[in-house]
Structure 1
């Protein structure tokens, strides 16, 4: 009998998306769009310009690569969101890597409102995300992480997450956050210094000259789900909850309290 050792490389998802917008006569619209692999975008009808990002691979696992670049001009107002929650699945071969860069020209505003990222047990994910503001540009950014799905009885005990988040203005740092979650942190999950038993948590950052003026409304909306502070043209809020659904409800209240207009339609489905 002939025995053979066969090594088969598992398929890996690759996605690249580059979008450039234009602004004229008070209207923001897509100017150019390149999409390849599993990275796609939709531009649904909306009161203002809105782009919905999709990962057609259905989730992220070790070896996957996603690259996103969005460029918006002066005077534009753009909302970027995701079609559904992103999922980071169990990895057997290294990390999934996601790189996102949003370039916002002077006089423009970006609402970066992705839906949740669900982290499954034994997932491994490296994300590098940056918003580059120029001049007096402003932005609102939300990031939400959920450790497994409570309704499915999932528990996350093993994890490798590095999440680098940066907002700069004319090359100078405005907000820098390097989040690291691994087995050691998860083992302290009931500690008040970590997650205090919660599995869902979110960070909201508003960069605008009137950010401090919205602090009172933000705190009222958050209630007992977290806390917020404001300083030097920046408002930062932290929220936690036992699961994703109550966190989403609190986060929606918070966003509505400080942001005019309706939330993206995909958030309300």
Structure 2
């Protein structure tokens, strides 16, 4: 008797590519589960979303944006990485700004037990361009009683100027190794924020003064036009509140604290 061939599972494929010029939409291409919604205004926003509702092993998702002026990019909701029975979900984010400032402020990524995600985020800056970069991770949903014991996350963030690295943050994590003092010490939510801009060091004092949200621990440093922050929290909700307060300090006064699709 011949052994049965394991069934092939359907996998998500999606890509969204947006080109803005002078604050106006010049090109919009979407394929599969990836979508993008440009919102016009004094400061344009581009909202990316994954209509499949989440990622699992073997899925592929990519977002891309090219702009030449001040722009904010975000995601419509939290991305979810579900249990992967086979393979690894892969996600890529490619953002390019020639002039002005780009704020990449996606909502958090929720990792479920036995998920496997590999993500690469690259921001390319013009000679005088600036950017604000956020990435937040939540291990399961505390309100649903979920516990994440086993997962794999490979997350690489790069900011380049004229093709040369300005900031590179590689991260690789496995479940079961997160209780020590060098990792999360039992926290289930964490985030990184980076500002690359002329005079970024000037924001260090106000940022440190804002690191007082109950239930969240954080630290910040700044040097040579770069400011970086690390945050950990017992749950995603206090982390989100702390992020909102920090972003309001790090964004220009006329832009508001968060993108319009965020809810606090």
TM-score of the two chains, using structure 2 as the length reference: 0.93
* Residues 1:15 and 2:11 aligned together: no
Separation in structure 2 between the aligned mates of residue 101 and residue 251 of structure 1, nearest angstrom:
23
* Residues 1:253 and 2:245 aligned together: yes
The residue aligned with 1:104 is: 97
C-alpha distance 197-46 of structure 1, shift in aligned 2 (>3 A):
farther
- Judge conservation of contact 2:221–2:229 (CA < 8 Å) in 1: yes
* Residues 1:61 and 2:61 aligned together: no
- Judge conservation of contact 2:24–2:40 (CA < 8 Å) in 1: no
Unaligned runs of 5+ in 1: none
What RMSD over aligned residues (CA atoms) do the two structures have, in Å? 1.6
Deviation of 1:225 (Å): 2.5
Deviation of 1:108 (Å): 2.1
- Judge conservation of contact 1:222–1:251 (CA < 8 Å) in 2: no
The 5 A counterparts of 1:40-51 are 40-51=35-46
The residue aligned with 1:33 is: 28
Separation in structure 2 between the aligned mates of residue 251 and residue 70 of structure 1, nearest angstrom:
23
- Judge conservation of contact 2:12–2:59 (CA < 8 Å) in 1: yes
* Residues 1:162 and 2:154 aligned together: yes
Deviations 1:113-160 (A, max 9, x none): 000000000000110110011201100000000111111111111111
Secondary structure, counterpart of 1:5 in structure 2: coil
* Residues 1:209 and 2:198 aligned together: yes
* Residues 1:118 and 2:117 aligned together: no
The residue aligned with 1:151 is: 143
- Judge conservation of contact 2:48–2:63 (CA < 8 Å) in 1: no
Secondary structure, counterpart of 2:85 in structure 1: coil
Deviation of 1:46 (Å): 4.5
Deviations 1:10-37 (A, max 9, x none): 11100011111111xxxx1211010000
Secondary structure, counterpart of 1:155 in structure 2: coil
Unaligned runs of 5+ in 2: none
TM-score of the two chains, using structure 1 as the length reference: 0.92
Secondary structure, counterpart of 2:137 in structure 1: strand
